[in-house]
Amino acid sequence: MSSKQIPSDYQPAPELLAGRRILVTGAGDGIGRAVSLALAGHGATVILLGRTVHKLEAVYDQIVDAGFPQPALYPLNLAGAAPDDYQELANRVDAELGGLEGLVHNAGILGSLSPLLHYDEAEWMEVMQVNLNGAFFLTRACLPLLEQAADAAILFTSSNVGFRGRAYWGAYAVSKFASEGLMQVLADEVEESGTLRVNSINPGRVRTGMRAAAYPAEDPQSLPAPEEIVMPYLYLLGPDSHGINGQAFDCG
């Protein structure tokens, strides 16, 4: 499947996301933090989900200090979360915010880079739980809210190794292949709705902790910062991408 890019001349309106409520997983640092700040900066009320409270609080404070719409905090460790935990989250979003227009599946873990023959069973299960099962259960719980919205978007995070397998990338690569399949199945199911679109995004080479763990010899300063790749997220989560569904996008 070939990947697409947003229009090179795309310029989001300042209030592109005004009135929209968007949930971002892994919002405490890296790409999730940068995307959350960009969404809030364009008018969205962002639900910051992550496992580390002090990191979420730092993003919360930065959004509030900038005068953007007040976000919401939701600490949750996807590795240990059960289906009921995701349903409770959706119920609270509905009760406290009254709806949802966007869902960004950004949280993920790398796991070991090792041959499949020697891959640790417990680690395999944890990577699948966070990268795939968590995305499925969260999507399923939030889907009724998203389907009630006049215009809504779900965005899965992909990877180069989720389109073409690479030796030693193990559970991470397999989870990304599966996430891409989950996106395509769901996109096909909602195709006729006209109000909900489902796509994936491949951040590519970005200066993050996960990238440093996968490529320890690489110079981080040679990579774009997370703040430099937020434009595709704004496009795919906002009304300018209305009608675009079931597509894989690259940030580069």
Number of Cβ atoms within 10 Å of the Cβ of 164: 8
Burial of 95 (0-12, 13-18, 19+ CB in 10 A): exposed
User: How is the beta sheet containing 45-50 ordered, strand by strand?
Assistant: 72-75, 45-50, 21-25, 102-105, 152-157, 196-202, 248-250
| Crossing angle of the two packed helices 170-189 and 134-148, in degrees rounded to 10 | 20
Written as six digits, the tokens of 114 are 């090792």
Written as six digits, the tokens of 204 are 């590519």
State yes or no: is 10 an active-site residue.
no
Q: What is the separation of C-alpha 95 from the centre of its chain, rounded to a whole number of angstroms?
A: 23
Radius of gyration for the alpha carbons in the chain, expressed in angstroms and rounded:
17
Written as six digits, the tokens of 24 are 């971002």
* Rounded Cα gap, residues 121 and 135, in angstroms: 20
Task: Say which of 60, 172, 233, 235 is annotated catalytic.
Answer: 172
* Rounded Cα gap, residues 86 and 24, in angstroms: 14
DSSP letters along 218-250, please? S-GGGS--GGGG-HHHHHHHSGGGTT--S-EEE
Catalytic residue numbers, as ranges: 172
